[in-house]
Amino acid sequence: MQQLTLTRPDDWHLHLRDGAALKVVLPHTVRQFARAIIMPNLKPPVRSLADAAAYRDRILAAIPAGKQFEPLMTLYLTDNTSPEETIAAKASGFVKAVKYYPSGATTNSEFGVTDIRKCDRVFEAMQQVDLPLLLHGEVTDKDVDIFDREKVFIQRYLIPLKQRFPKLRVVLEHITTADAVEYVLNANNIGATITPQHLLFNRNRIFKGGINPHFYCLPILKRETHRQALVKAATSGNPKFFLGTDSAPHTRTSKESACGCAGCFSALHAIELYAEAFESVNALDKLEAFASFYGPDFYQLPRNTEQITLNKSTWKIPDEVPFTESGLVPLNAGQEMTWQMV
Ligand code: NCD
Ligand code: ZN
């Protein structure tokens, strides 16, 4: 196959940051995607409907002239989020979900929830108005091994949560394990996003020839059997699994540091990365639905109508693209890709 034409995809999990960083990264996403679910982990986070409205305006102002893009906003759940705030958020029409971060789990999560059971009144309201809950599904207990944090979260918190709120629509974000695939397959009212890095790489990549901080993200890459389970889920044609890049830009200096930040930047070449993952198992025919249909179906939004085209053509991922105080290193920088969006 030499050319691939797809309905324009959407990104159901994206970090755009704010200020100067927002202005630099947004055009990359706008080039490929029509809409994106915008993560609320700013400093300070997007906690209220007013915060979300103001952030949305800043995003709209940063869209390059003549381009179309719709930011789908989220609220950052804290111990103090009120049920009324989520009801008002749903009524606004532009807030599409509430994001749960366990306190301390990842970048800018210090405002996150200290005990998920404290939020039951909020979940009750969200279930009532049908506002989806997005989960960073990892426990943060220091006694749980970093590679087991997702699996333990499912057992300890997600299964009980779904028992308490069976109709609450949940997205288990950036799934990384066979355990998560298995759980999502067997539960109701649940979807899952899958990132390009978790489809393409296993945890060996972090340590290949030395430590590679640009492959460090959270949840951390897992062993090969898990990667294979994710590829199988993504290419299965099951509508529970859809595209969410988790593109999470950090400056080169904050990644290449004694205590480097978690996050991979993939907005530059996201659809090409997914195309390579799908092609590796001869499943390019399943890419369009994963990238462009199942996400809007889950969020009860119309599918996009315009199209994008990818050509079979070899190019090199740049070592760095311009960013803020220092450059931005794209996922798998310096390596060759065989698909290119025109
Ligand atoms: C994200 C970030 O940098 O904001 N980092 C990451 O490794 N994925 C936060 C997140 O989604 O966990
Ligand atoms: Zn994320």
Per-residue pLDDT of the chain (342 residues; tens, 9 = 90+): 899 999 999 999 999 999 999 999 999 999 999 999 999 999 999 999 999 999 999 999 999 999 999 999 999 999 999 999 999 999 999 999 999 999 987 777 888 999 999 999 999 999 999 999 999 999 999 999 999 999 999 999 999 999 999 999 999 999 999 999 999 999 999 999 999 999 999 999 999 999 999 999 999 999 999 999 999 999 999 999 999 999 999 999 999 999 999 999 999 999 999 999 999 999 999 999 999 999 999 999 999 999 999 999 999 999 999 999 999 999 999 999 999 999
Distance 195 CA to ligand 2 centre (A): 10
**In a mutational test of the pocket of ligand 1, which residue from 106, 150, 221 has the highest number of ligand atoms less than 8 Å from its CB?**
106
Residues 6 or more apart whose Cβ sits within 8 Å of residue 282: none
9-306 CATH fold: TIM Barrel (3.20.20)
Query: What is the number of the ligand 1 atom nearest to the C-alpha of 263?
Result: 7
Report the residue among 14, 16, 22, 41 best suited for mutation to probe ligand 1: largest number of ligand atoms under 8 A from its CB: 41
DSSP 314-334: EEE--S-B--SSS-B-BTTTT
Reported as type and span, the H/E element at residue 17 is none
Residue nearest atom 9 of ligand 1, based on CA coordinates:
107
Cα(174) to centroid(ligand 1), Å: 10
| Cis bond before residue 219 (omega within 30° of 0) | yes
**319 belongs to the catalytic site:** no
Listing DSSP states for 118-150 in one string gives: GGHHHHHHHHHHT--EEE------TTS-GGGHH
- The pLDDT assigned to 106 comes to 77
Atom of ligand 1 nearest to the CA of 195: 8
For residue 101, give the ligand 1 atom closest to its CA.
12
- Residue of minimum CA distance from atom 5 in ligand 1: 263
Residues with CB under 6 A from ligand 1: 15, 41, 106-107, 136, 217-218, 246, 248, 262-263
CA of 107 to the centre of ligand 2 (A): 9
Among 10, 57, 246, 319, which one carries the catalytic annotation?
246
Distance CA 227, CA 221 (A): 8
Helix, strand, coil proportions of the chain in percent (round to 5)? 40, 20, 45
> Which of 251, 329, 269 lies closest to 20, judged by CA?
251
Closest by Cα among 312, 279, 295 to 34: 295
pTM for the predicted model, two decimal places: 0.98
